[in-house]
């Protein structure tokens, strides 16, 4: 299907053929009919992308500081490569569209194929022929409202939420600064609720249109005295509220708003401006200032947008979805004159011309629409072919193992795994499947996969593919591993292997030893870890080990903390260090005891701040101290091992100290080597005998069970045996 994509690296806009999205639970697959270009927002994004690296750094000094801190730990080369990969990630443009439902995902009620819907949301309601959109970002289109009008939905919600933030009532006077698309929508909304509206813009034609659409006055600063006109219109009191809907880099709109506002007026920033306020004016007038966030409550909230949790209407009257319904109702009632705002229409195949118009200011524009063939018209995207029954592949023989299908393509995959894969000789990169067509297309294009898809089962049913690399979110690992094993594939799955004991037992039962199954516990493949283990190979007594992890804080709204998705950091990350201790001991864990912080937590949670004690079958003892409360300027990881008058220390996998027989050996590296390259080389290139592959899987299963038992110990506050 066709989709408009921007490169954040250079700002270039392209129209690409990308795989269409697959229908997923909790949302709708929508055939796009019309999408609206948000000229102001998209132009700012493109201009940012066109800046040089120095220009981008000046625009986002906060990100520069983060990168600097990370580089001091991980090395400048690796952090620079990661930054370049992030810039190279394509951005789907668009966030407001309307179309027809093609398929309804599981768990969604009230829709059926053929229904007309307005959809919204960045990354969902894009300029693309097919869209997958979560339920809370979809609303049925009322009778009498066409697709083009409904495509204004997200912009209407943004304007409507700004009006609600201003708290205006019948008869009050409002000043709207900026009469672009968003400003003209704001003017109509204010007029429809009985407010007197004054508009301000540098373009005389937009001022004339604003008056036509309901503004009482529309003024051009510099040509007309705005302060005097507002005073005359308000009887000398000043504006009850000022909505700043313009997009600029200076604070002139703020200064104008301060000057014309009455005492205790509300100032709402809907657009973009430099937030340099005049304290004296704010103090004298006791002004109230707020920034309106997107389209209303629920916006940018993963629980609301992605997972479909609604807010009770008795507590949150106007969520972003209810705002969208209200805006569409206003259109149906004839209170929004959107046909006067549409200045240009472009077929999706001519989308680049639309952006030339906006970026080069070739002629005046306001509302620029992209249109798409309706489902029954020639040129419409056809329904994807059904996926057949998987064919059983061969064993873990090398030729079969070197033909790869990738499932998942997040930042870790793109920054770490794929660059390492590219360096391995003899691999056949057959298919890449991710949740969005844009990411699948980019990965295939950049790393050389022969095909891109949004349907992972195309990989499983391809008999020519011998190996599957699974790098999706944690909650999907177990089912994908089981499906891949059933399809006869060799499997490399990122940690964790699974999130429940039930899934672990299912995987153990499904693994028959005929294929290779590896888990992404990469630290055991680090050169420093292998060297240290080799130095202790002749020991005859147990090890005493400690692993301190200064993990850093992750906000609680991130997916890794969601017990249904990430499983929490114990299951999702501490598993690394449990596996590492087992690798160094070369013995299975038989008992675990966990304890976490208690009392006043603040922003922290127990599972992020804990200690584990592990007993191993050979008598070795290991402790893990894992915390999110430390400083990012301090080292992240430190492993120590003690045995028979020997000491080994690994610090951040950048330096190692081995003290044996009174002699000290120290090796320092400029950057971390966490074992990713060695891990992938072992999976794809090494020869594995069945017995060795079975022992490897057994160690991964033990590490996973120890992690699950650690969670049980944490909750019961008792030591737990590991069978």
CATH number of the structural domain spanning residue 281? 3.40.50.720
Indicate the DSSP class of residue 442.
H
Tally Cβ neighbours within 10 Å of residue 254.
23
Residue 73 has pLDDT above 80, yes or no: no
pLDDT for res 10:
83
Query: Quick check: 386 pLDDT over 80?
Result: no
User: Per-residue pLDDT for 139 more than 90?
Assistant: yes
Same domain, 507 and 528: no
Q: Check residue 687 and give its pLDDT.
A: 87
- Same domain? For 667 and 541 the reply is yes
User: Do 402 and 499 belong together in one domain?
Assistant: yes
- Is the predicted pLDDT of residue 394 greater than 80, yes or no? no
Q: Do the domain assignments include residue 271?
A: yes
Express each pLDDT in 223-252 by its tens digit. 999 999 999 999 999 999 999 999 988 999
Answer whether residue 688 is part of any domain.
no
pLDDT at residue 571, rounded to an integer: 98
* Together in a domain, 238 and 335: no
Tell me the average pLDDT across 118-141.
98
CATH number of the domain that 109 lies in? Answer: 3.90.180.10
Q: Model confidence at 390, in pLDDT bands (50, 70, 90)?
A: very low
The answer on 437 and 410 residing in a single domain is yes
Structural domain includes residue 342: yes
Last residue of a domain, one of 495, 519, 543: 519
**Do 168 and 279 lie in a common domain?**
yes
Whether residue 62 has a cis bond before it, omega within 30° of 0: no
pLDDT, residue 74, reads 59
Report the pLDDT value the prediction gives residue 69, as an integer from 0 to 100.
67
Q: What is the pLDDT of residue 132?
A: 98
Q: Is residue 378 part of a domain?
A: no
* pLDDT(43) > 90: no
Instruction: Write the pLDDT tens digit of every residue in 565-588.
Output: 999 999 999 999 999 999 999 999
Instruction: Give the pLDDT of residue 80.
Output: 65
pLDDT tens string 332-383 = 999 999 999 999 999 999 999 999 999 988 789 999 999 998 776 656 666 5
**CB of 368 within 8 A of CB of 181?**
no
Q: What is the per-residue pLDDT for 557?
A: 86
Per-residue confidence band for 67, with pLDDT thresholds at 50, 70 and 90: low
- Residue 687 is assigned to a structural domain of this protein: no
Are 263 and 313 found together in one domain? no
Tens-place pLDDT, residues 155-178: 999 999 999 999 999 999 999 999
CATH code of the domain covering residue 606: 3.30.360.10
Sequence-separated (6 or more) residues with CB below 8 Å from residue 317: none
Percent of the chain with pLDDT over 90: 83
In this model, does residue 387 exceed pLDDT 50?
no
Q: 385 lies in a domain?
A: no
**265, 291, 317 - which closes a domain:** 291
Whether 600 and 667 share a structural domain: yes
Within 8 A by CB and 6+ apart from 440, the residues are: 18, 19, 409, 432, 433, 434, 452, 453, 454
Q: What is the pLDDT of residue 396?
A: 54
Final residue before a domain boundary, out of 519, 540, 560: 519
Per-residue pLDDT at 378: 58
Q: In the structure, what pLDDT confidence band is assigned to residue 517 with cuts at 50, 70 and 90?
A: very high
For residue 389, the model assigns a pLDDT of 38
Q: Does one domain contain both 472 and 555?
A: no
139 with 55, same domain: the answer is yes
Sorted by sequence, the CB contacts under 8 Å of residue 368 that are 6+ apart come out as 36, 37, 39, 343, 344, 345, 346, 354, 357, 358
Beta strands 428-433 and 96-104 are unpaired
461 CB neighbour count, 10 Å cutoff: 15
| Cα distance between residue 415 and residue 427, in whole Å | 19
Average pLDDT, the chain: 92
% of the chain residues with pLDDT over 70: 92
* 316/283 same-domain check: no
Enter the pTM of the model: 0.87
Domain count, the chain: 4
Element (H, E) at 712: helix 690-716
Q: Are residues 598 and 546 in the same domain?
A: yes
If you write DSSP's letter for every residue of 664-711 in order, what string do you get? EEEEE-SS---SHHHHHHHHHTS---HHHHHHHHHHHHHHHHHHHHHH
The reply to whether 41 falls in a domain is: yes
Cα dihedral angle (294, 300, 301, 306), rounded to 10 degrees? Answer: 120
Domain residues for 119? 2-152+302-371
What's the residue count for the chain? 723
Question: Which whole number is the average pLDDT over 103-120?
Answer: 97
The Cα 589–Cα 719 span in angstroms is: 13
Residue 478 pLDDT more than 70?
Answer: yes
């Amino acid at each position: 299907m066709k989709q408009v994509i921007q490169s954040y690296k250079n700002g270039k806009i392209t129209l690409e053929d990308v795989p269409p999205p697959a229908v997923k639970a909790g949302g709708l697959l929508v055939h796009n009919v019309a999408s609206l270009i948000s000229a102001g927002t998209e132009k700012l994004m493109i201009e940012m992308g066109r800046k040089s690296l120095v220009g981008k750094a000046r625009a986002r000094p906060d990100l520069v500081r983060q990168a600097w801190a990370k580089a001091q730990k991980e090395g400048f080369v690796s952090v620079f490569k990661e930054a370049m990969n992030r810039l190279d990630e394509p951005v789907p443009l668009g966030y407001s569209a309307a179309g027809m439902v093609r398929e309804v995902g599981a768990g969604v009620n009230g829709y059926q194929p053929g229904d007309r819907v307005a959809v919204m949301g960045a990354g969902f309601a894009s300029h693309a022929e097919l869209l997958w959109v979560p339920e809370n970002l979809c609303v049925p289109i009322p009778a009498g409202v066409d697709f083009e009008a409904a495509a204004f939905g997200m912009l209407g919600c943004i304007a409507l939420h700004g009006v609600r933030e201003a708290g205006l009532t019948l008869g009050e006077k409002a000043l709207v600064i900026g009469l672009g698309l968003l400003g003209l929508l704001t003017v109509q909304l204010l007029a429809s609720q009985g407010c007197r509206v004054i508009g301000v813009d540098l373009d005389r034609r937009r001022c004339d249109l604003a008056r036509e659409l309901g503004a009482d006055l529309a003024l051009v600063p510099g040509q007309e005295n705005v302060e005097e006109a507002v005073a005359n219109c308000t009887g000398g009191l000043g504006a009850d509220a000022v909505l700043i809907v313009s997009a600029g880099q200076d604070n002139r709109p703020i200064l104008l708003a301060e000057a014309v506002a009455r005492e205790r007026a509300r100032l709402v920033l809907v657009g973009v401006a430099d937030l340099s306020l005049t304290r004296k004016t704010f103090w004298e007038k006791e002004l109230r200032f707020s920034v309106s966030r997107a389209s209303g409550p629920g916006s940018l909230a993963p629980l609301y947008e992605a997972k479909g949790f609604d807010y009770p209407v008795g507590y949150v009257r106007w969520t972003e979805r209810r705002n969208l319904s209200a805006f569409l109702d206003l259109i149906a009632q004839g209170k929004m004159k959107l046909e006067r705002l549409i200045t240009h229409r472009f077929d999706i195949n001519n989308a680049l011309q639309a952006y030339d118009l906006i970026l080069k200011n070739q002629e005046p524009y306001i509302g620029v629409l992209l249109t798409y063939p309706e489902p029954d018209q020639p040129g419409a995207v056809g329904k994807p072919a059904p996926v057949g029954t998987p064919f059983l592949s061969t064993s873990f023989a090398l030729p079969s193992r070197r033909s790869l299908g990738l499932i998942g393509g997040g930042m870790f995959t793109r920054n770490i795994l794929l660059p390492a894969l590219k360096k391995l000789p003899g691999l056949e990169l057959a298919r890449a499947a991710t949740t969005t067509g844009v990411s699948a297309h980019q990965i295939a294009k950049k790393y050389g996969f022969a095909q891109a898809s949004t349907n992972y089962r195309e990989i499983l049913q391809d008999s020519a593919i011998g190996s599957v690399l699974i790098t999706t979110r944690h909650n999907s690992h177990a089912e994908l591993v089981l499906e891949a094993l059933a399809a006869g594939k060799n499997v490399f799955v990122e940690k964790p292997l699974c999130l429940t004991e039930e899934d672990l037992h299912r995987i153990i039962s499904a693994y028959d030893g005929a294929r290779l199954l590896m888990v992404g516990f990469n630290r055991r493949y680090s050169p420093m870890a292998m060297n240290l283990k080799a130095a202790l190979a002749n020991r005859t007594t147990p090890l005493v080990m400690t692993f301190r992890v200064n993990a850093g804080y992750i906000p609680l709204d991130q997916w890794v903390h969601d017990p249904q998705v990430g499983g929490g950091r114990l299951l999702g990350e501490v598993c690394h260090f449990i596996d590492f201790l087992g690798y160094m001991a070369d013995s299975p864990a038989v008992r675990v005891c966990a304890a976490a912080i208690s009392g006043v937590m603040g922003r922290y949670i127990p599972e992020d701040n804990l200690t584990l004690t592990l007993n191993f079958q050979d008598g070795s003892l290991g402790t893990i101290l894992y915390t999110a409360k430390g400083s990012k300027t301090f080292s992240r990881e430190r492993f120590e091992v003690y045995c028979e008058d020997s000491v080994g220390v690994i610090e951040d996998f950048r330096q190692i100290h081995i003290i044996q027989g009174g002699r000290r050996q120290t090796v320092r590296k400029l950057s971390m080597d966490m074992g990713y390259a060695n891990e992938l080389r072992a999976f794809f290139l090494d020869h594995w005998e069945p017995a060795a592959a079975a022992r490897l899987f057994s160690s991964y299963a033990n590490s996973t069970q120890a992690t699950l038992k650690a969670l049980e110990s944490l909750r019961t506050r008792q030591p737990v045996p590991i069978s």
